Structure 1
Amino acid sequence: MTSPASTLDSSRPVRPGEELDAAALARWLAGAAPDFAPSPIDIEQFPRGFSNLTYLLRLPGDRELVLRRPPKGVKKGSAHDMGREFRILRALHARGGKVPRPVGHCDDESVLGAPFYVMERVRGLILRAAPPPGVPLTPAVMQGLSASFVDAMLEIHRTPLDAEGVRELGNPEGYVQRQVQGWAKRYRAAATDPIADMETLAAWLDANRPGEWGAALIHNDFKYDNMVLDPADPTRILAVLDWEMATLGDPLMDLGTTLAYWVDADDPPELRALGLGITALPGNLTRAGLWARYGALAGRPLGNPGFYYAFGLFKLAVIAQQIYTRYKAGLTTDERFGALIDAVRALAAMGNRVAAIGRVSHLAGE
């Protein structure tokens, strides 16, 4: 069997054009975090992310940090606001939340060419699109993990809104309308190819907005590959990563985004082909099961999940479109992004199917 160490999320050499100035970084660390300022620093890159760039910093003494910065060619906004993400981590870490310990933040673009922040690395298992070798993801493990997943989401949603570092994140009132109309606007700003299904889905979402269910701190990208798990017990969540899109808003919209990443075993081939994750493994909660568990733990009726799932699919399609647009403009060299326009089409078609049938599971054959 593969050892636990070999299942840890692996880094690779930095992609051309995305290098960091190691000497400048060492000088910054010496002033901002003297405990982590030895030289030299060995820098590698985590290749999996589709949004901000994430680097592994290896320091003498087997110490490791993680650095995050925006990619080239993006406008400054909440999803690429390094200071905002750093403050969220700091607030949650101070409350004992399952997040890495933040080390420091730099807004001075003369250091590395963009704002960035640094946090301690949490070593553990991250589940990607395929099961890692040597990790027995049995039905019992997947059942326990998916239950822990819902519990962790609800724990975040129950964070007091008046907590320091949380109350400054925004106004939750009118969140559903802002999200629906905002993502439609982002799509039109990034569109490269005419995709009628995207316009149809955007119009349906705007015409079928539900009332606000509640207000909470929401992660907005809550999925398995944004979690660090205990390699010895994969049902145990050590840390939640990637808080770049966190805000205050309707928690069911957060749940809808999660549903968009959640693939069921009986889903249509075009949805399974997107390789969104391993949620179709035996024992894992289905989308309907995830929705039901959240509702049972929340102690309140949630209503029909169809709108929220359709919104999540639309949002995911817009994100794919934005990344594809950067790729077409030559602002990233990552060849994975060249096929994302096909993902936009597939997600939009599935969103319209969900809108028509009004449910989140058993989608094939409709």
Structure 2
Amino acid sequence: MDTMQVRASERIDAQRLHAFLKTQFLDLPEGKLEITQFSAGHSNLTYCLKIGDFEVVLRRPPLGPVAKKAHDMKREFTILSALQPFLAMVPTPYVYVSDDAIIGSDFFLMERKKGIVLDTRFPVGTENTEELARQLSEKMVDSLVALHAIPYAETSLKDMVKPEGFMQRQVHGWIERYDKAKTAQFAEVEALTAWLKENVPTNAEATIIHYDYKLNNAMFSEDYTKMIGLFDWEMTTVGDPLADLGVAMSYWMHADDPKMLLYALGEPPITILPGFYSRQEFITRYAEKSGRDVSSINYYMTFAYFKLAVICQQIYYRYVKGQTQDDRFAQMDKMVAALIKQASKAIN
């Protein structure tokens, strides 16, 4: 997973952080603390801390005001602690720090995993074959099924969640978030949100759901035969597993998807290349492996596109209000418009 020089506005205090690391890791080598930043992601800030051959990952909330209940570092740390014993791809969490005196916010430290994260292109030296694309597609499906099979009642998550009425709360909650972050009117929103409210599925099954499951949140072994890492557990909860599948499909792009959707945030993901599953193939394999009825998946995909539009709208709202100066967010309103159109289209 690539790192870059820390953005000027997102630097953290290396001296205080180094002193803190010495209190937590008794075998910390001598030397200077090097801090780099993971470039991917538009939400929480993630850093790599390195001293000699020692490496650890730091996660902290974004700068500026954030949406209520969003970017909860303690919650994410607790989720990792609960799931890691069941799923090796979950990074091992080390310590959560509530004190903001060290870097200006709370944060947690976790294992630094090493492997290949795929996004818009294969790394140099990897031959892009249809066979490899199919293999990666299968790993993505099977890992999602494995996550949904974890017995959440045997973890500490059972005390943090309320699975009953999950989709009702989700639908009404995300519509409310959209209304609060609105900066423009889109003609389709009223009919879309009315349809979502009127057609909430009654599926009562509850499993652990990642809720941000996509290719560039996964890490593969060098030979691509295993998924060895899964990241960004901020949205994880216990709820309807088909909601998780719907979110995964909203990220799983096709070559024939609208250009605005494919290119709004840069280059499209490699899932547009020949050999990668179509969304329908992904859904079909999920149904076969999990034994679940997926006949209502259109609803979940419609909601997933809308939910993604709201997340982008919240980011754009923060940019418009001057709460973040990150220029990557200046065009986010165009992504919102494209996602709302895609959600409206998914109804059918």
Residue in structure 2 matching 1:240, options 205, 230, 244: 230
CA distance in structure 2 between the aligned counterparts of 1:149 and 1:131, rounded to whole angstroms: 16
Amino acid at match of 2:213: F
Q: How many residues align?
A: 346
What's the counterpart of residue 55 of structure 1? 47
Contact 1:78/1:245 (8 A) holds in 2: no
Contact 2:83/2:155 (8 A) holds in 1: no
Amino acid at match of 1:267: D
CA-CA distance at 1:165 after TM superposition: 2.6
CA distance in structure 2 between the aligned counterparts of 1:124 and 1:142, rounded to whole angstroms: 17
With 199-208 and 340-349 compared, the bigger mean Cα shift is at: 199-208
1:248-297 deviation digits (Å, cap 9, x = unpaired): 10000011111110111232333333345221111111111111111111
Runs of 4+ in 1 over 6 A off after TM superposition: none
Contact 1:212/1:250 (8 A) holds in 2: yes
SS at structure 2 position matched to 1:121:
coil
Equivalent residue runs for 1:185-224 within 5 Å = 185-224=176-215
CA distance in structure 2 between the aligned counterparts of 1:309 and 1:276, rounded to whole angstroms: 19
CA distance in structure 1 between the aligned counterparts of 2:326 and 2:66, rounded to whole angstroms: 19
What's the counterpart of residue 253 of structure 1? 243
Aligned pair 1:34/2:26, yes or no? yes
With 128-137 and 315-324 compared, the bigger mean Cα shift is at: 128-137
> With structure 1 as the length reference, what TM-score do the two structures score?
0.90
CA-CA distance at 1:163 after TM superposition: 2.1
With 324-333 and 81-90 compared, the bigger mean Cα shift is at: 324-333
Aligned pair 1:273/2:267, yes or no? no
1:171-219 deviation digits (Å, cap 9, x = unpaired): 1110111111111111111111222323332222111111125100000
SS at structure 2 position matched to 1:192:
coil
1:201-239 deviation digits (Å, cap 9, x = unpaired): 2222111111125100000000110011112x2242011
What's the counterpart of residue 145 of structure 1? 136
CA distance in structure 2 between the aligned counterparts of 1:255 and 1:276, rounded to whole angstroms: 20
The 3 A distance-change label for structure 1 pair 37 and 328 is: farther
1:56-81 deviation digits (Å, cap 9, x = unpaired): 11112x22111110011233755411
SS at structure 2 position matched to 1:97:
coil
Residue in structure 2 matching 1:262, options 239, 245, 252: 252
Residue in structure 1 matching 2:346, options 319, 342, 354: 354
SS at structure 1 position matched to 2:212:
coil
SS at structure 1 position matched to 2:8:
coil
> With structure 2 as the length reference, what TM-score do the two structures score?
0.94
Contact 1:176/1:250 (8 A) holds in 2: yes
CA distance in structure 1 between the aligned counterparts of 2:311 and 2:67, rounded to whole angstroms: 15
Contact 1:43/1:57 (8 A) holds in 2: yes
Unaligned runs of 5+ in 1: 1-8, 358-366
Residue in structure 2 matching 1:23, options 9, 15, 21: 15
CA distance in structure 2 between the aligned counterparts of 1:276 and 1:190, rounded to whole angstroms: 26
CA distance in structure 2 between the aligned counterparts of 1:337 and 1:76, rounded to whole angstroms: 16
CA distance in structure 2 between the aligned counterparts of 1:96 and 1:343, rounded to whole angstroms: 33
Amino acid at match of 1:333: Q
Equivalent residue runs for 1:64-213 within 5 Å = 64-75=55-66, 77-213=68-204
Unaligned runs of 5+ in 2: none
Contact 1:174/1:212 (8 A) holds in 2: no
CA distance in structure 1 between the aligned counterparts of 2:321 and 2:334, rounded to whole angstroms: 17
The 3 A distance-change label for structure 1 pair 284 and 235 is: farther
